[in-house]
Amino acid sequence: MTETTPHVVIVGGGFGGLTAAQSLAQARMRVTLVDRTNHHLFQPLLYQVATAALSPAEIAAPIRAVLARQRNARVLMAEVTGVDLARRQVTLRDGELAYDFLVLATGAGNFYFGHDEWEAFAPGLKTLEDAVEIRRRILLAFERAEREPDAARRARLLTFCVIGGGATGVELAGSISELARSVLARDFRAIDPKQTRVLLLEGGDRVLPAFTPDLSASAERQLAQIGVEVRKGARVTRIDGDGVWLGEELVGAATVLWGAGVRATPLGASLGVPIDAQGRVKIEPDCSLPGHPEAFAIGDMAVLLDEAGAPLPGTSPVAMQQARYVAATIRAGLGTGAGAAPRAPFVYVDKGAMATIGRSRAIARTGSLRLSGFTAWMAWLLVHIWYLIGFESRVLVMLRWWWSYVTFRRGARLITDPIERGPHRPR
């Protein structure tokens, strides 16, 4: 490898970016992966950190460690502030990085439909920091309820409102309800955590709309079994310190969590290429940016329509398949001159989808097969353990799950900040 070896810069160490880097392991290229954090996050299990079942380190792996043995790859912890497509330069907060090929995979963040003022009252679940903050809010609500003499205020502290009936919302609501009813049941004296109310507010007419109506109905039944109240057609008009407003009706809740909307990270909008209403880059059929065959955008920050004209879902299989496709394109581009050969379009192979609802409850579909309940949950468990990056995490997470399953305990019930939160000061 020399300085003239083609240089591939990958921005983002999520499912898309990391897979792209790994798929270039055999290529005679220099690969630089840039991320503003030092870890790859196994986002499908983030709700388990938020509800105290797993520790952050069990669902995150240092990107450096994942790529340690890949000699053509280096990892930079840095913040990308922009891309100069004409000059083929990535702008960092403190420097620049020239590329021959570029893969953008910075994902999506929470979106509050223009109501950014809701964010302080209803955090979303995108990063490890978000998960620890949500865990803190949930556990503190029980601590405050234990000390609250006023019945109405106590009820408000024991009401948890999750907005959005997609996978994140369903998983969070189910997991909070189980935390309260099984795990915390014995721990308190003044309150009965079983009186906890968990509401799942969905604007549409069913939860998990990405699945078939019968699976949605099954999910709603399973949620009811573990004590989650599902309200459909719930249009949120305001979120404040009192709770969630649905028009004139106030749902009083001390803890409100947001799972309703995401929006592509702002990098896409800064590129000067067409984006859609969710801020996603409208990529070409070969995942490249219009007019820039050497630059690609994949995963949640990009949008591509399937043959029926619907956007591909914002899931890790899409990002990972796009990453492998783009890596193959880049490798092929070496021989023919970048962008010279006509490229076959990216085709998404849908292997199925699953969502978990709670301990031994889930729904899943693959091909024409539809599962729900315990079998779907077992499938979910096996798939998620299998894809956890790093053998250590896999074994330890499995053990921890088995232990929680048998004992109804959760190990990571930590509030790691003072009661009155402020910026961290070492004491």
- Nearer to a copy of itself by Cβ, of 55 and 212: the residue is 55
Residue 393 binds a copy of itself (CB under 8 A): yes
Whole-Å CA distances, 370 to 173, 218, 318, 366, 419 = 23, 11, 20, 7, 45
Among 80, 100, 107, 126, binds a copy of itself (CB under 8 A): 126
Residue 78 binds a copy of itself (CB under 8 A): yes
In contact, 384 and 401? CB cutoff 8 Å = no
Work out the angle at residue 28's Cα, subtended by the Cα atoms of residues 25 and 32, and round it to the nearest 5 degrees.
60
- Nearer to a copy of itself by Cβ, of 25 and 217: the residue is 25
Nearest approach in angstroms of CB 425 to a copy of itself is: 8
- The 229-248 site mask, x for binding a copy of itself (CB under 8 A), equals --------------------
Among 7, 39, 197, 292, binds a copy of itself (CB under 8 A): 39
With H, G, I as helix, E, B as strand and everything else as coil, classify residue 169.
helix
Residue 119 binds a copy of itself (CB under 8 A): yes
Residue 339 binds a copy of itself (CB under 8 A): no
Residue 214 binds a copy of itself (CB under 8 A): no
With H, G, I as helix, E, B as strand and everything else as coil, classify residue 308.
coil
Nearest approach in angstroms of CB 368 to a copy of itself is: 39
Q: How far apart are CA 133 and CA 136, in angstroms?
A: 5
- Nearer to a copy of itself by Cβ, of 208 and 388: the residue is 388
Residue 395 binds a copy of itself (CB under 8 A): yes
Which among 221, 204, 198 has a CA at the least distance from the CA of 165?
A: 204
- Nearer to a copy of itself by Cβ, of 25 and 77: the residue is 77
Among 25, 27, 56, 370, binds a copy of itself (CB under 8 A): 56
Residue 402 binds a copy of itself (CB under 8 A): no
Residue 353 binds a copy of itself (CB under 8 A): no
The strand ranges marked E within 241-291 are 243-246, 249-252, 255-258, 262-264, 281-282, 288-289
**For residues 95-114, which are near a copy of itself according to CB under 8 A?**
95, 109-110
Residue 269 binds a copy of itself (CB under 8 A): no
Residue 77 binds a copy of itself (CB under 8 A): yes
**For residues 180-199, which are near a copy of itself according to CB under 8 A?**
186-190
Provide the β-strand partners of residue 57. Answer: none
Residues binding a copy of itself: number (CB under 8 A):
69
Pairing verdict, β 238-240 and 288-289:
unpaired
How far from each other are the two terminal CA atoms of the chain, in whole angstroms?
48
Write the CB contacts of 427 (distance below 8 Å, at least 6 apart in sequence). none
Residue 147 binds a copy of itself (CB under 8 A): yes
Residue 388 binds a copy of itself (CB under 8 A): no
Is 171 annotated in the active site?
yes
**Catalytic annotation, pick one of 79, 133, 146, 171:** 171
Nearest approach in angstroms of CB 193 to a copy of itself is: 11
Write the CB contacts of 178 (distance below 8 Å, at least 6 apart in sequence). 226, 358, 359
Residue 236, Cβ density class (10 Å: 0-12 exposed, 13-18 middle, ≥19 buried):
buried
In contact, 361 and 226? CB cutoff 8 Å = yes
Which among 305, 301, 285, 311 has a CA at the least distance from the CA of 210?
A: 311
Among 249, 345, 392, 405, binds a copy of itself (CB under 8 A): 392
Q: How far apart are CA 410 and CA 160, in angstroms?
A: 19
Q: How far apart are CA 83 and CA 97, in angstroms?
A: 9
Write the CB contacts of 67 (distance below 8 Å, at least 6 apart in sequence). 18, 21, 22, 33, 73, 75
Q: What share of the chain is helix, strand, coil (3-state, %, to 5)?
A: 35, 25, 40
Token pair for 223: 């949620």
Nearest approach in angstroms of CB 161 to a copy of itself is: 16
Nearest approach in angstroms of CB 95 to a copy of itself is: 8
- Nearer to a copy of itself by Cβ, of 79 and 214: the residue is 79
Residue 37 binds a copy of itself (CB under 8 A): yes
What is the contact surface with a copy of itself in residues (CB under 8 A)? 36-39, 55-58, 60, 62, 64-65, 68-69, 74-79, 93, 95, 109-110, 119-120, 123-124, 126-130, 132-133, 139-140, 143, 146-147, 186-190, 390, 392-393, 395-396, 399-400, 403, 407, 409, 411-419, 422-424, 426-427
- The residues carrying an active-site annotation are 171
